[in-house]
Amino acid sequence: MPRQTRALSTALSASLALALLGACTSQEGGSDSGKHEQPGVATGTIIGGLPKKGGTLTVLSNQDFGHLDPARNWVMPTMDFGTRLLYRTLTTFKAAPGDQGSGIVPDLATDLGKPSKGGRVWTFKLKPGLKYEDGSPIRAQDIKYNVERSFAPDLVGGPDYAQRYLADTDGYTGPLQGKHLDSIQTPDERTIIFSLRRPVAEFSYTVTLPTFSPVPQSQEKGVQYDLRPFSSGPYKIKSYARGKKLILVRNPHWAKTTDPVREAYPDQIVVQMGLKGGQIDDRIIASEGADASSVEWSDMQPSSIAKVLPRPEVKRRLVAERTGCTDMLALNTSRPPFSNLKLRQAMQYAVDKSAQVTASGGPALNDIATRYLPPALTGEGRSNSAYGRSTTSHADKAKKLLAEGGKPNGFSTTITVSTGDKTRAEALQQSLSQVGVRLKIQTVDPSVYYDTIGDTKHAPDMAINGWCPDYPSGSTFLPFVFDGRTIKEKGNQGNVSQFRDKAVEKRMDEIAAMSDAASADRAWNDLDIVIQSKSPAVPLLWKRKPLLVGDNIAGAFGHGAWTGQFDFAVIGLKDPSKSKG
């Protein structure tokens, strides 16, 4: 590896680590102060000590997974579940709380990849002895095949870094018709070489994504692969009844000697779906019988906070890690009313963000967002906002912009939210009514929410949409949320606002071409302000992810890379024998 290339990669890694460190400092004591943070809510710590091997870990959930197919899995925290339990990637994040978890290690690969040609070519070598659940070998060709699958029009919804980064992919629609990409070469079963359209210094991070996990062509089932991914990880699927229950059991051919992060403590992992959020909270708070060996999948309900925080014996079983994401109100710019800039800008002042904090569990679990990039990508002191930093609505400013936009008496509009966000939508409805904006609310099940708002032809005027960087770089945030060239008719995951702006897109390309990570970092932050002025979305919250565990859970912590979800690579039980109740 040339010294200059290695130095660039090292500088990037150091910059990313400092960005994460700066974010924590900023939220705790800087201008984005988390002064409402409740002392004692676990963050950066491990609950329950070291797990013991064996037993059944139960995950209580109010929803099914959107997608488990690694070519389609791009919703946090389902990526955590898939990449920690069912399939491995070329590299992966460390299993550690806090800032340590932002580091990456080789997973299927022997190292973090070797760049050449100025970062336009990356070569990875697979470890020897890697096997699937049936004992067959994991080959480099299988990783190539899964990356190619991610281009298939039928397999929508997954990470599109391959489409963005790989060379010579124009018009490619996947391998199902026998066509393959020349920009991915596999000279032997343990070597895979990616040729990129431009230098990508952080490509070692890119290949942590499930797109870069192996799928043998012999296992291809198209859209049905979602129901039964072929395991390269420590567990395999025993049974899966959509919307009801998923049972994972050990993959006997997974070898811990090849795996630097996964411990696979439980013998079995059972995901029970379709439960009500409040019911889940109450069961884990009581922690009786098998529920003592359970964790919750989705956030603790805001109504449960009063049952947890005043009780030290329960509070110590609460994780509330920062998600590293920004929660936004996406405004559909593709048609009226929000094709009108003035009406979009009016929303920046009409929305009462303090009401969003209340509806989302209060200030112990939320900070008000004042820009698009989350603090983890901006660092201390970069808190500029095009609309000021007020936490409540400014009806006078909103009404002035409504009048300038030709709607002095307001207008009618629609919002689609998941069922769990209905209270938040009602809070929006209330604040917008103060300026004459009449909001109609539609709710959908969480498991189909992103597919619903990602159908651009039938998308609502508004949607609550969060975005989390796939790894700590501005390149994983603004281009995915606000680049008009990423919009898809179906499975439109990022640019829910359907925002198109040629000047913004040109600047994104210029920043992406920068070889100096620090300069690119500053440029992304400057571009954030520019996009704010065009108002494709209203930044709402920087949230924590509140999750409860039962009394018998050990090794539990919220992982920053997985938006505060438990790291399923290392969670387990204190006493496995107690899990059989």
Mind giving me the DSSP string for 183-231? TEEEEETTEEEEEBSS--TTHHHHTTSGGGS---GGG--GGGGGG-PPP
- What CA–CA distance (Å, rounded) separates 507 from 523? 9
Q: What's the mean pLDDT in 363-387? A: 80
Q: What tokens appear for 435 in the block?
A: 């300026």
Whole-angstrom Cα distance, residue 143 to residue 212? 6
**Do residues 325 and 77 make contact, with C-beta atoms less than 8 angstroms apart?**
no
Residue type, 18: L
Q: For residue 216, give the amino acid letter.
A: P
pLDDT-based confidence at 183, cuts 50/70/90?
A: very high
Q: Check residue 372 and give its pLDDT.
A: 96
Please list the helix, strand and coil fractions of the chain in percent, rounded to the nearest 5, in that order: 35, 20, 45
At position 41, the amino acid (one-letter code) is V
3-state secondary structure of 442: strand
Confidence at residue 46, expressed as pLDDT on a 0 to 100 scale: 93
Cα–Cα separations (whole angstroms), residue 345 to 197, 399, 478, 498 = 36, 11, 19, 16
Instruction: Give the pLDDT confidence score for residue 299 in this predicted structure.
Output: 92
Whether residue 55 has pLDDT greater than 60: yes
Nearest to 359 by CA among 318, 303, 415: 303
Phi, psi of 580 (to 5 degrees): -100, 20
**Pick from 44-48, 114-118, 240-244, 419-423: least confident:** 44-48
pLDDT at 77 > cutoff 70: yes
Predicted local distance difference test score (pLDDT) of residue 17:
28
Per the CB < 8 A criterion, the answer to whether 200 and 165 are in contact is: yes
- What percent of the chain is modeled with pLDDT above 70? 91
**C-alpha to C-alpha distance for 428 and 314, rounded to whole angstroms:** 32
CB atoms within 10 A of CB 315: 16
Lowest mean pLDDT among 8-17, 156-165, 494-503: 8-17
| Residue 429 φ/ψ, nearest 5 degrees | -55, -45
Three-point CA angle 145, 150, 151, nearest 5°: 105
More confident residue, 459 or 322: 459
Q: Can you tell me the distance from the alpha carbon of 45 to that of 558, in angstroms, rounded to the nearest whole number?
A: 8
Distance, CA of 574 to CA of 549 (rounded, Å): 12
Per-residue pLDDT at 431: 96
235, β-bridge pairs = 250
Give 341: exposed, middle or buried? Use CB within 10 Å, 0-12, 13-18, 19+.
middle
Contact criterion met (CB below 8 Å) for 503 and 531: no
Asked whether residue 249 carries a pLDDT value surpassing 80, the answer given is yes
Helix or strand run (H / E) with residue 322 = strand 318-322
Q: N- to C-terminal Cα distance for the chain? A: 55
Q: Which domains does the chain have, with CATH numbers?
A: 66-225 (3.40.190.10), 274-321+545-578 (no CATH), 324-544 (3.10.105.10)
Amino acid at 276: K
Give the pLDDT score at 336.
98
Beta-bridge mates of residue 98: none
Q: How far apart are the C-alpha atoms of 206 and 92, rounded to whole Å? A: 10
Rounded average pLDDT over 199-220:
95
Whether the pLDDT of residue 12 is over 90: the answer is no
Please, which pLDDT band fits residue 389 given cuts at 50, 70 and 90? low
Work out the average pLDDT over 358-365: 87
Q: How far is CA 294 from CA 22, 268, 281, in A?
A: 34, 12, 11
Cβ(372)–Cβ(461) below 8 Å: no
Is residue 1 over pLDDT 50? no
Task: Write the burial class of residue 168 (CB in 10 Å: 0-12 exposed, 13-18 middle, 19+ buried).
Answer: exposed
> Residues 369, 373, 374, 376: is their CA dihedral positive or negative?
negative
What's the 3-state SS for 389-431? CCCCCCHHHHHHHHHHCCCCCCCEEEEEEEHHHHHHHHHHHHH
The answer, yes or no, to whether residue 363 has pLDDT greater than 90, is no
Q: What is the pLDDT of residue 81?
A: 98
Q: How large a percentage of the chain has pLDDT more than 90? A: 76
- pLDDT tens-place string over residues 406-440: 999 999 999 999 998 999 999 999 999 999 999 99
pLDDT at res. 41 = 56
CA 97 to CA 143: how far, in whole Å?
29
Closest Cα to residue 475, out of 439, 443, 511?
511
Contact (CB, 8 A) for 346 and 401? yes
Provide Rg for the chain, Cα atoms: 23
Region 376-387 average pLDDT: 68
The mean per-residue pLDDT over the stretch 204-226 comes to 97
Cβ-Cβ contacts under 8 Å for 327 (sequence gap 6 or more): 356, 369, 464, 465, 466, 539, 540, 541, 542, 543
Q: Which amino acid is at 458?
A: H
- Mean residue pLDDT of the chain comes to 89
Q: Which of 18-27, 38-47, 138-147, 560-569 has the lowest mean pLDDT?
A: 18-27
Tokens 């007020």 -> residue: 390
Categorize the per-residue pLDDT at 33 as very low, low, confident or very high, splitting at 50, 70 and 90.
very low
- Angstrom distance (rounded) from CA 215 to CA 207: 15
Q: What pLDDT was estimated at residue 126?
A: 98
Q: Decide if pLDDT at 318 tops 70.
A: yes
Element (H, E) at 95: none
pLDDT-derived band at 208 (thresholds 50, 70, 90) equals: very high
pLDDT of amino acid 6: 25
| Confidence check: pLDDT of 383 > 90 | no
